[in-house]
Structure 1
Amino acid sequence: MVGTVLVTGATAGFGKAIAHRLVKDGYRVIGTGRRQERLDELKSVLGDAFLPFRLDMDDTASLRALPDSLPNGWQTVDVLINNAGLALGLDPAQTANIDDWEQMIRTNVSGLVEITRALLPGMVDRNKGHIVSVGSTAGTYPYPGANVYGATKAFVSQFMRNLRSDLLGTRIRATNVEPGLCGGSEFSNVRLRDDAKAADVYKDTHPLLPEDIAETVSWIVKLPAHVNINRIEMMPVCQASAGLAVKHGVD
């Protein structure tokens, strides 16, 4: 075994693929999520190298108590994968659902910050650890309807940069992984609340897949201890950053 990894949002998509890949790589993996039945399914497949741990990223008290809540033998977390996150809606800011905005902020920002702060002191005490957050190209490139979702991912990007600055002088690594168009997960189904519309997002494309993200995370965490990948941006070849938008007919 090469260490213990905690993956948030392990019940589907990127998190599930990352859990599978890192167990295959020889890590012990703590997988968190709200859906206990899915965690149990992962346990049945991955065996004793996987610990299912129910955790709600909205529950601040549980996040702060996490280091002492883990069972004996699992409390030393070497790698934290901040994967849990979501997008809700594509409405413009002036008509967007404010409750959706608040939920994205709680999960993508507050939850990520809380769990990082909970586990970071232990890493610093041991002078060993790696924090990997799953950001998004939406944190760099704006598009209509991204409003708060894009802002939360921009926060994650800057938080990880500043985290690395704070950790200068330690052997703790910090990385932001920023995927673009990615299929094979529940992301668009949750965002659009419509399976048909979600399928249309990927129609006639060859998007990234959760396994591609897992492969990238696997490479990052296995690099020599003196190597830190600050950020890595990923897109499928069918996608590129667009030019500035122009709306004709506007004074």
Structure 2
Amino acid sequence: MSTQRTAVVTGASSGIGEATARALAAEGFRVVCAARRIERIEVLAAEIDGLAVRLDVTDAESVAAFAAQVEAVHVLVNNAGGAFGSDPVETADPDQWAAMYDVNVLGLLRVTQALLPALRASGDGLIVNIGSTAGRWAYEKGGGYTAAKHATRVVTETLRLELNGEPIRVSEVAPGMVHTPEFALVRFDGDQAAADAVYAGVPDPLVAEDVADAVSWIATRPAHVNIDELVIKPRAQAAVHKVHRIPS
């Protein structure tokens, strides 16, 4: 019988999810790469000797079908998420807020519920939720995303309380400014100039591999060690509103 541990990573088709899948595979995990874009995760899974399974965390039927294909789970990384729009509260689109809550919070809920039996059965389970510094501090024009990520944080804390005494650890990794190819581009509806402006002049923002390194470190701690939360920001970012930028 194989003693290899299995990790599930949602949103593994790009960015932090893809980097996390690679990092966990490098630590010896068999990684189940989960995302909507099956062609991307099939390539990734082939490269890291993992398994690609299509998953839409906003669709209950998709989550149920996914869970049916995954038998053993030792680590679950709830990474699927995203930000949509950057309007002030006064003019914000409620549909965008609903979409952010659906993927960042309800998606996390659906997948966690579906995989908890397997995590429990493993005898040494770990849930790592990818949060954000937006789940700790508010900022202008980010109300919908900060609300969703605050909810992610509270769900994580609640789950840790409810699972106390069981063989499951619960952690949150909360990154600050991470420069990935898609996050800001999606937020600004494909406006490359607006996406680039987020990182303009910032020396060395975090990259996806920095966050993945934190997740893999948590996943390789001894079973009795729970890392409640890990907040990671680049040196240039002292706070959400305080970022050092080099003038162009």
Fold similarity call, TM over 0.5 = yes
Whether 1:53 aligns to 2:49 is: no
Deviations 1:207-244 (A, max 9, x none): 11100001100100000100000111111011122689
Whether 1:131 aligns to 2:127 is: yes
- Specify the alignment match of 1:185 in structure 2: 181
| Aligned alpha-carbon RMSD (Å) | 1.6
Q: Would the aligned equivalents of 1:136 and 1:153 in 2 still touch at CA under 8 Å?
A: yes
- Specify the alignment match of 1:247 in structure 2: none
Q: Would the aligned equivalents of 1:4 and 1:30 in 2 still touch at CA under 8 Å?
A: yes
Deviation at 1:91, TM superposition (A): 0.3
* Structure-1 separation of matches of 2:74 and 2:226: 15
* Structure-2 separation of matches of 1:110 and 1:243: 28
After TM superposition, list the pairs within 5 Å mapping 1:141-220 onto structure 2: 141-193=137-189, 194-205=191-202, 206-220=204-218
- Specify the alignment match of 1:31 in structure 2: 33
Q: Would the aligned equivalents of 2:71 and 2:118 in 1 still touch at CA under 8 Å?
A: no
- Specify the alignment match of 1:88 in structure 2: 84
Q: Per the alignment, in what secondary structure is the counterpart of residue 44 of structure 1? A: helix
CA spacing shift, 1:226–1:154, aligned 2, 3 Å: same
Deviations 1:138-169 (A, max 9, x none): 01110011112111111111111111111111
Structure 2 spans left out of the alignment, 5+ residues:
243-248
Letter in 2 for 1:195: Q
* Structure-1 separation of matches of 2:50 and 2:33: 7
Deviation at 1:127, TM superposition (A): 3.1
Out of 228, 233, 240, which is 1:235 matched to?
A: 233
Identity of aligned residues (%): 41
* Structure-1 separation of matches of 2:121 and 2:44: 31
* Structure-2 separation of matches of 1:104 and 1:242: 20
Q: Per the alignment, in what secondary structure is the counterpart of residue 225 of structure 2? A: coil
Deviation at 1:65, TM superposition (A): 4.0
* Structure-2 separation of matches of 1:216 and 1:225: 16
> Number of residue pairs matched?
238
TM-score by length of 1: 0.90
Letter in 2 for 1:145: K
Which 4+ residue blocks in structure 1 deviate beyond 6 angstroms?
A: none
* Structure-2 separation of matches of 1:156 and 1:13: 19
Whether 1:119 aligns to 2:115 is: yes
TM-score by length of 2: 0.92
* Structure-2 separation of matches of 1:242 and 1:148: 16
Letter in 2 for 1:200: A
